[in-house]
Amino acid sequence: MQVKDIISTLELNLFGGSQGLNREISGGYTSDLLSDVMGHADSGRVWITLQTHKNVIAIASLKELAAVILIKGFEPDADMLAHAEEEGIPVLGTNEQAFEITGKLFNLLTF
Amino acid sequence: MNKYRADLHIHTVLSPCGNLEMSPANIIKKACEKGLDIIGITDHNSTRHCKLVSKLSELAGIFVLMGAEVTTREEVHCLTFFENDSKLDEFQRYLEKHLPSIPNNTEKFGYQVVVDENEDIIEQIDFLLLSALDQSIEQIEKKVHSLGGIFIPAHIDRPSYSIISQLGFIPDDLLIDGIEISANCKTRSIMPSIGNQLGKSLIRSSDAHYIQDIGKVFTTFDMESRTFSEIKKALHNSMERNVSIA
């Protein structure tokens, strides 16, 4: 499954980084501690978080994550979005909280 | 040049987690016993005790750096310091504007009290001071520097509430006046996380919440005299001033 495939199913907004919509998804990772993601997320994961700092993209790029989903209606900081465009990492958004969107993505990828 | 011993991260009884013994008068007394020349008063998201500690310190011959330990939106703790009462007051208004109105549960978190010089309680703060401000680390950094203040990410080696735990690494372009490490931190272990901010001064402080912790570790400031601007110069290794840690 690619990033573009989850957008309509999960009713996500696309904030930016659309060059990366063809990235393959290997799974998901839900965490708001960037150090935790840096240490433990595997490549190809979709990262679900409420952090909107530009370091999110630096770490997503370093770990070769597939995309970032911002929860609860959070929007990326301007410099986060600029980095996402540069790096081609899709930044998506949902109004749901981490529990719901994580469950839906899990179901989508597993069943 | 003179060498001054500084512990720049001390909580008072105003912090919910600060022990009741941490009254301004007791803090000064302990700082004297420990041979400290400079102390930083850094309650969580409040500067309300700074002026009293500063006033009481004059007789004791201790220089007080007035500020707060601020919690950013990302839940990063940062030390902030200001040169005088008016700048401190403006920053206090900023803190009050941006701290969410979450009531404190004194049983769970502890009391948040302001005392006078006789240690009588003159006010209890209703809103939890441990909450995060609704401002990003960059927004707070800009506010502090717009007031000519000092901005230092706190205890960056800690596994929670540190810039490293919350943001993974220190952003290259964040304007910081120094980097604080905690009492037992081995400096070598945190070097990789500092990245391009490697030239910044390291300070080590106690983060004292209990009276016996004041001055258990310290930073040495090598500078002309104890003023806000000298401290700032020392942090920036400017004009042959510098800071060092054991």
Is there a contact between B15 and B112 (Cβ–Cβ < 8 Å)? Answer: yes
- Selected for mutation to probe chain A from B163, B166, B170 (highest A CB count within 10 Å) is B166
Radius of gyration of chain A (CA): 12
Q: Which is more confidently placed, B195 or A33?
A: A33
- ∠ Cα B75 B78 B84 (to 5°): 135
Is there a contact between B169 and A55 (Cβ–Cβ < 8 Å)? Answer: yes
Nearest CA in chain B to A55: B167
Between strands B77-82 and B63-71, the pairing is antiparallel
Residue B86: phi, psi to the nearest 5? Answer: -70, -40
Looking at residue A2, the DSSP 8-state letter turns out to be: B
- Burial of residue B120 (number of CB atoms within 10 Å: 0-12, 13-18, 19+): exposed
Q: Do A34 and B167 make contact, defined as CB atoms within 8 angstroms?
A: yes
- Selected for mutation to probe chain B from A31, A33, A47, A56 (highest B CB count within 10 Å) is A33
Domain segments of chain B as ranges: 2-245
Question: What's the predicted TM-score (pTM) here?
Answer: 0.93
Q: How do residues B170-206 score in pLDDT, each as one tens digit?
A: 999 999 999 999 999 988 888 888 888 888 999 999 9
Closest-CA distance of chain B to residue A111, Å = 33
User: Mean pLDDT score of chain B, rounded to an integer?
Assistant: 95
Q: What does the alpha-carbon distance between residue B222 and residue B45 come to, in Å, rounded to a whole number?
A: 29
Position B86 scores a pLDDT of 98
Closest-CA distance of chain A to residue B179, Å = 18
Q: What does the alpha-carbon distance between residue B66 and residue B54 come to, in Å, rounded to a whole number?
A: 8
Q: At what angle do helices B137-146 and B85-98 cross, to 10 degrees?
A: 160
Q: How do residues B119-140 score in pLDDT, each as one tens digit?
A: 999 999 999 999 999 999 999 9
- Among the partner residues B137, B165, B171, nearest to A35 by beta-carbon distance: B165
Among B76, B71, B88, CA closest to B133? B71
ipTM for this prediction: 0.85
Q: Do A35 and B164 make contact, defined as CB atoms within 8 angstroms?
A: yes
Domains within chain A, CATH numbers bracketed: 3-110 (3.40.1390.20)
Q: Residue B10, Cα to own-chain centre: how many angstroms? A: 7
CA dist B101 to B96, B113, B234, Å? Answer: 9, 17, 38
Nearest CA in chain B to A56: B167
Among A64, A48, A55, CA closest to A12? A48
Q: Bridge-partner residues for A68, per DSSP? A: A47, A91
Name the pLDDT band for B246 (thresholds 50, 70, 90).
confident
Nearest CA in chain A to B74: A51
Task: Write out B184-230 in H/E/C secondary structure.
Answer: CCCHHHHHHHHHHHCCCCEEECCCECCHHHCCCCCEEEEECCCCHHH
Cβ atoms within 10 Å of B144's Cβ, excluding its own: 26
Closest-CA distance of chain A to residue B133, Å = 14
Mean pLDDT of A76-85: 96
- Selected for mutation to probe chain A from B134, B142, B163, B167 (highest A CB count within 10 Å) is B167
Q: What does the alpha-carbon distance between residue A36 and residue B221 come to, in Å, rounded to a whole number?
A: 35
Q: Bridge-partner residues for B2, per DSSP? A: B223
Asked whether the predicted pLDDT for residue B106 surpasses 90, the reply is: no
Closest-CA distance of chain A to residue B75, Å = 10
Q: How do residues B38-66 score in pLDDT, each as one tens digit?
A: 999 999 999 999 999 999 999 999 999 99
Helix (H, G, I), strand (E, B) or coil at A4: helix
Write out chain B residues lying below 8 Å of A35, CB-based: 164-168
Write out chain B residues lying below 8 Å of A38, CB-based: 168-169
Nearest CA in chain B to A77: B136
Position B120 scores a pLDDT of 93
Asked whether the predicted pLDDT for residue B9 surpasses 90, the reply is: yes
Q: What does the alpha-carbon distance between residue B155 and residue B9 come to, in Å, rounded to a whole number?
A: 10
Position B18 scores a pLDDT of 85
Q: Do A34 and B171 make contact, defined as CB atoms within 8 angstroms?
A: no
Asked whether the predicted pLDDT for residue B26 surpasses 90, the reply is: yes
Is there a contact between B206 and B184 (Cβ–Cβ < 8 Å)? Answer: no
Position B95 scores a pLDDT of 98
Q: Do B168 and A38 make contact, defined as CB atoms within 8 angstroms?
A: yes
Nearest CA in chain B to A51: B74
Residue type, A62: L
- Among the partner residues A38, A53, A58, nearest to B74 by beta-carbon distance: A53
Residue type, A91: V
Q: Which CATH architecture has domain B2-245?
A: Alpha-Beta Barrel (3.20)
Position B57 scores a pLDDT of 95
Position B197 scores a pLDDT of 87
Q: How do residues B205-230 score in pLDDT, each as one tens digit?
A: 999 999 999 999 999 999 999 999 99
B173 Cβ contact list (under 8 Å, min separation 6):
none
Q: How do residues B71-91 score in pLDDT, each as one tens digit?
A: 999 999 999 999 999 999 999
Chain position carrying tokens 């301007």: A78
Asked whether the predicted pLDDT for residue B107 surpasses 90, the reply is: no
